[in-house]
Structure 1
Amino acid sequence: MKQKSEDTAFFGQPKGLSTLFFTEMWERFSYYGMRAILLFYIYYAVDKGGLGMDEVTAASIMSIYGSLVYLSSTVGGWLSDRIWGSRKTVFIGGVLIMFGHIVLSLPLGTAALYCSIALIVAGTGLLKPNVSDMVGGLYSPEDRRRDAGFSMFVFGINLGSAIAPWLVPWAADGFGFHAFGNTTNFHAGFSLAAFGMLLGLIQYYYGGRKHLSKDSNKPNDPISKEELQSIIKKIVVALVILAIVLVAMQLLGKLNINNIISLITILAIAIPIYYFAIMLKSDKVTKTERSRVLAYIPLFIAGAIFWGIEESGSVVLALFAEQRTILHIGSWHFAAANFQTLNPVFIMILTPLFVWLWEHWKGQPTAPKKFAIGLVFAGLSYAWMALPGMLYGTSGRVSPLWLVGSWFIVEIAEMLISPIGLSVTTKLAPKAFQSQMMSMWFLADATGQAVNSQIVKYYSANTEVQYFLIVGIVSVVFGLIMLVLSKRIHALMAGIN
């Protein structure tokens, strides 16, 4: 059997990378294909193929959906490490995701929407963090191909994310033949998303048996019966508390989707606060590590603000694309959902440029300064979106280039924050909290989207200019404050760059 360093079957990389590359590509295809049309499905009138909810509720659901996906990722890593092993955890996650899309493809109304969200949230939480971990497991510590392998893997993620916003809306529109008349058949689009996940599962199952390590079938740190019993008791207590809260809300006449979204928002903000408190108070954390955790707090807040803006592409910017954008250039017509492709496309374009920049820029800024500059760019992407309303009013439609420009600006911000955030999270993590600290980066995204679920309620054509300006200014101001404090934050990092 070949050693890891000898396996060059996939463009010079281990053959197992091909299995994980296509698994994640199809998973992202299904997820971003579904998200490209889901907002419209929720608020389109019933006679146009939708559920007929109001736009405010639809936008809040989309934001809290994204928050739940990243909250669930913290559970997926634990189940892999302690109970199932990464390969089984990823497969179970993929199956749940596929069934989530299948449920959504059936014309079963609002109940199917919520059931689908539950399945896809649980499935993505199991799959997403563990696929990345398995990529790392393909290489020995001294294998110099590791960075290139991860770059190829990330390309697969963005490839799936880029083609989905074209193919899934195309399916929903009758595969180019307008087969459904004036009604959009969203269920056909969701069916294509389900089929994409099925393809990913098939090649993962057979490719995994041939090319992935047998060690991935086993948990890294198997849980004992005593620990498992303790965990089960805690889960039961948490479920009982949740049930009491929900019953109390029902008795008070407050059990509705908006209040449930508010409850999840509180949890998404409270959980990282709890994590920070535990790490700062722990006897297992040294004085130097505690300083680094303190340094991470402003980086976490910056990450949450950034992700709140970046993830709005499938919410606020999707509404702008549908209602305020000219959906053709000359004779070429396109759908509002197609704009979702801009995020991964710009990532693929900009990543090589920034990789080259970080490799050759000797006096490059510290991590806090990169975050600060990234926040300024994120804020400017929203300030940019205020301009068409200021120049032409908010009653007509404007050039699609406004959206293209906004996405380009925010992806510059992502290059300054997202990969740097992943890297600095691993460096600042206390030894006793390595995996928990990694989950904090996912929680930053969850917190940002949870806050979005509340503030998006204030977005409309009438408040468009104010909304973009206020959120943009908040990001820019926080970025400037971070820039001023960057030396102090860097000092707290205690030797970490």
Structure 2
Amino acid sequence: MDKEKKLDTAFFGQPRGLSTLFFTEMWERFSYYGMRAILLFYMYYAVTKGGLGMNQSTAASIMAIYGSLVYLATVVGGWLSDRVWGSRKTVFIGGVLIMFGHIALSLPFGVSALYVSIALIVCGTGMLKPNVSEMVGGLYSEEDKRRDSGFSMFVFGINLGAAVAPWAVPWAANGFGFHLFGSGMNFHAGFSLAAIGMFFGLLQYSLDGRKYLSKDSLYPNDPIDKESLRPVIIWTIVGLAVLVVVLGLLAAMGQLNITNIINIITVIAIALPIYYFIMMLNSKKVTKIEKSRVLAYIPLFIAAAIFWAIEESGSVVLALFAEQRTVLHIGGWHFAAANFQTLNPLFIMILTPVFVALWDHWKGQPSAPGKFSAGLVFAGLSYILMALPGMFYGTAGRVSPFWLVGSWFIVEIGEMLVSPIGLSVTTKLAPKAFKSQMMSMWFLADSAGQAVNAQIVKYYSTANEVPYFLAVGLVSIVFGVILVFFVKKIHGLMDGVD
């Protein structure tokens, strides 16, 4: 099998199966980021403009908690793949759920369709996202030197889909360039295009997967037996029962509303990683050295959560700024506020080779905590930059789109210092008995950051944009500076891990 993998160079020198996973993830990201590009506007635009007419702060909170739920769901998706279905089936089921989620949004059934869509896409993305990456690794033997370049190509596919979608989906929602929908927008047409994108991804995955993906992906890595399954079922039932009781109590008190549901999800997103840390630090399966490494990971986790709270705000706060405060043309070139969502993946594609070369040639480069510290400072500076237009020109008019371009560029420099480094250090610091759970922690950092974001974005408005950007930006910078003074201490706790 290993010999076959080494000889398979059908996709630009890589295994043919990489093409299958490349385009599957490209289409999935196309559908997800296309939907995200217009979803906030769909929620708070007036009904007369094709939207749902929600309060802006509520819509912003829903967008943030949506992202948090997606990363929470990856924990369940990874477990289902490892213990029940295997990665190939889990990815397919996830893709189907995502497609139906977009179909739900494409239908004119209002708020109910929105919540059904969120549930479907959260579950589907949680199943698909972590397991596609695992399948890429399965294409290579441990000795295959093409692994890193293969993952680089895979990541390029992710960002290619994410970069194209914020142009294609808003274009569909605006009448495909023909003003088919009068002065308003037909958001449902845009969501339909996202559904079609996921359909193509599923079709290609299903047809190609049978030929080119490893047969090992058809089976779970650690199939669960009946004895182990029983406590899982019991605890799942207990958890659901507790949730029903809580929701019932809220309903009885007349407090069952979207705000309180977001509050519950926020508590869960913050409590879950705390539980994981306590569990690992108290486990008899974790050695003294491993416990030291887990302790070292805690400040890195907090730093990652703060970073993701700012980085993920691109589809929330910066989207609002683009719509309400930005001049949407450069000369005779006109564009939509949703088009700015392309900047995130575009800058990642531009900066990735630069930073790969930098890490390959910089002999005295900082340790992981040092890079995290710098990443937080860059993230904070991206928000400080966004405070300047309001300070210079006031918040009543519109300003140059280059403020947003600059902010996204700066935060993506921060992402280059946090995201790939965080993935790497998470695997290095993971206790042997909790390797999978520790990888889940990286996703939970993003989830926790966006959950906190769901609480603070409700305070953003054009009137208070300056103090909002300054406050959040300074929190990130201050924590980054504090982290500098603890770099040596953290590095010492890492006990030999660079």
What band does the TM-score fall into relative to the shorter chain?
Answer: over 0.9
In 1, Cα distance between equivalents of 2:459 and 2:213: 48
SS of the residue 2:13 aligns to: coil
How far apart are 1:366 and its partner, in Å? 0.5
TM-score normalised to the size of structure 2? 0.99
Q: Note if 1:273 corresponds to 2:274.
A: yes
Distance 1:462 1:212 in 2: 53
Using the TM superposition, give the Cα deviation of residue 462 of structure 1 relative to its aligned residue in structure 2, in angstroms: 1.1
Tell me by how many angstroms 1:361 deviates: 0.2
Matched, 1:421 2:422: yes
Task: Give CA-to-partner distance per residue, 1:75-117, whole Å, 9 cap, x none.
Answer: 1010000000000000000000000000000000000000000
Corresponding residue of 1:166: 167
Aligned to 1:397: 398
What is the alpha-carbon distance in structure 2 between the residues aligned to residue 92 and residue 35 of structure 1?
A: 21
Residue number in structure 2 paired with 1:226: 227
SS in 2 for 1:179: coil
CA deviation map 1:303-354 (0-9, x unaligned): 0000000000000000000000000011110000000000000000000000
- Superposition deviation, residue 253 in structure 1: 1.1
CA shift digits 1:381-431 (9 cap, x unpaired): 000000000000000000000000000000000000000000000000000
Equivalent residue number for residue 457 of structure 1: 458
- Note if 1:129 corresponds to 2:105: no
In 2, Cα distance between the equivalents of 1:280 and 1:463? Answer: 42
Question: Identity over aligned residues, as a percent?
Answer: 76
Number of the residue aligned with 1:97:
98
- Quote the Cα distance in structure 2 between the aligned partners of 1:214 and 1:280: 37
| Aligned residue in 1 for 2:301 | 300
Structure 1 unaligned regions, length at least 5 = none
Task: Write the distance in 1 (CA, Å) between the matches of 2:348 and 2:62.
Answer: 26
Give, in whole Å, the separation in 2 of the partners of 1:429 and 1:453.
Answer: 29
Aligned-residue offset at 1:31: 0.1
| Residue of structure 1 equivalent to 2:14 | 13
User: Once the 2 structures are TM-superposed, how far is the Cα of residue 476 of structure 1 from its aligned partner?
Assistant: 0.1
Deviations 1:148-173 (A, max 9, x none): 00000000000000000000000000
1:337 corresponds to which residue? 338
Instruction: Detail structure 1 runs of 4+ shifted over 3 Å in the superposition.
Output: none
TM-score with structure 1 setting the length: 1.00
Aligned residues: 497
Query: d(CA) in 1 for partners of 2:266 and 2:123?
Result: 18
Equivalents in 1 of 2:101, 2:354: separation in Å?
Answer: 37
The code of the aligned residue for 2:404 comes to L
CA distance in 2, matches of 1:190, 1:412: 31
Q: Secondary structure at the match of 1:399?
A: coil
Partner amino acid, structure 2, of 1:40: F
Distance in 2 (alpha carbons) for counterparts of 1:229 and 1:187? 43
Kindly report which structure 2 residues correspond to 1:142-291, keeping only aligned pairs within 5 A, or say none. 142-291=143-292
Q: How does 1:77-92 map to 2 (within 5 A)?
A: 77-92=78-93
Q: What CA distance in whole angstroms lies between the structure 1 residues aligned with 2:86 and 2:436?
A: 15
Q: Distance in 1 between matches of 2:176 and 2:439?
A: 41
CA RMSD of aligned residues (A): 0.6
1:9 Cα deviation from its structure 2 partner: 0.3
- SS in structure 1 opposite 2:140? coil
Gaps of at least 5 residues in structure 2 are none
Q: SS where residue 3 of structure 1 aligns?
A: helix
- Letter matched to residue 442 of structure 1: F
The residue matched to 2:151 in structure 1 has which SS?
helix
**Displacement of 1:230:** 1.6
Mapping of 1:339-418 within 5 angstroms? 339-418=340-419
The alpha-carbon deviation at position 229 of structure 1 amounts to 1.7
1: distance between equivalents of 2:231 and 2:5?
39
> Post-superposition shift, 1:466?
0.1
